[in-house]
Chain A
Amino acid sequence: MDQKLFENLVRENRSTIYTVCYMFSKDANEVADLFQEVLINIWKGIDRFEGRSNVKTWIYRISLNTCISFDRKRKKATKLEMSANFFTETDNDSRQVELLHKRISILQPFDRAIVLLWLESISYDEIGAIVGISAKNVAVRLTRIREQLKNMSND
Chain B
Amino acid sequence: MENLNTYVEFEEMRTQLNILTEKLNAERIISDKMVRVATQSRMRWLTIDAKLGRYIAPPIYVMLCISFYLLTQNIPFTIYSVLLFTAACIGQRIYSNDIADKNLWDKTLLEIVQKLARARKINENWYKFGVPLGGLWIIWCGSIMSKTIPNFSFGLYIGALIGLVFGFLIRWFVNRRFKSVEDNLTEVIEMEKNNE
Which A residues are within 8 Å of any B CB, using their own CB?
14-15, 18-19, 22, 28-29, 32-33, 35-36, 86-87, 93, 96-97, 99-100, 103-104, 115-116, 118-120, 124, 139, 142-143, 146, 149-150, 153
B31→A19 contact, CB < 8 A: no
Docked-complex contact B20 and A97, CB < 8 angstroms: yes
Interface size bracket, B side = 20 to 34
B195 close to A (CB within 8 Å): no
Binary CB contact string for chain B from 8 to 48 against chain A (1 if under 8 A, 0 otherwise): 01101111110111011101010101100110000000000
Determine the chain B residues whose CB is within 8 A of the CB of A29 once the complex forms: 31, 33
Which of A100, A118, A143 has the most CB atoms of chain B within a 10 A radius of its CB? A100
* A19 touches which of B4, B15, B21, B33 (Cβ 8 Å): B21
**Other contacts beyond A36-B34, A153-B9: 19, CB < 8 A:** A15-B25, A19-B20, A19-B21, A28-B31, A32-B31, A35-B34, A36-B37, A87-B23, A96-B15, A97-B19, A103-B13, A104-B13, A118-B4, A119-B14, A124-B1, A146-B7, A146-B9, A149-B10, A149-B13
Q: Which residues of B contact A (CB under 8 A)?
A: 1-2, 4, 7, 9-10, 12-17, 19-21, 23-25, 27, 29, 31, 33-34, 37-38
Question: Could you list some 14 contacts between A and B, CB below 8 A?
Answer: A22-B20, A35-B29, A97-B20, A99-B16, A100-B17, A100-B19, A100-B20, A103-B13, A104-B13, A118-B4, A119-B10, A119-B13, A143-B4, A146-B4
| B15 (CB) vs chain A CBs: closest residue | A96
Task: Give the complex CA separation of A117 and B14 in angstroms.
Answer: 11
Residues of A within 8 A of B38 (CB): 36
Interchain CA distance A120-B20 in the complex, whole Å: 12
CB distance from A123 to the nearest CB of B (A): 11
Q: Does B17 lie within 8 Å of A19, measured CB to CB?
A: yes
B9 lies within 8 A of A149 (CB):
yes
Given known contacts A28-B31, A153-B9, A15 and B24 CB-to-CB distance under 8 angstroms: yes
Residues of B within 8 A of A115 (CB): 10, 13
In angstroms, Cα B13 to Cα A146, docked, is 11
Give the chain A neighbours of B27 by CB distance below 8 A: 18, 86
Beta-carbon nearest neighbor of A153 in chain B:
B9
Q: Which residues of A contact B21 (CB under 8 A)?
A: 15, 19
Q: Does B17 lie within 8 Å of A142, measured CB to CB?
A: no
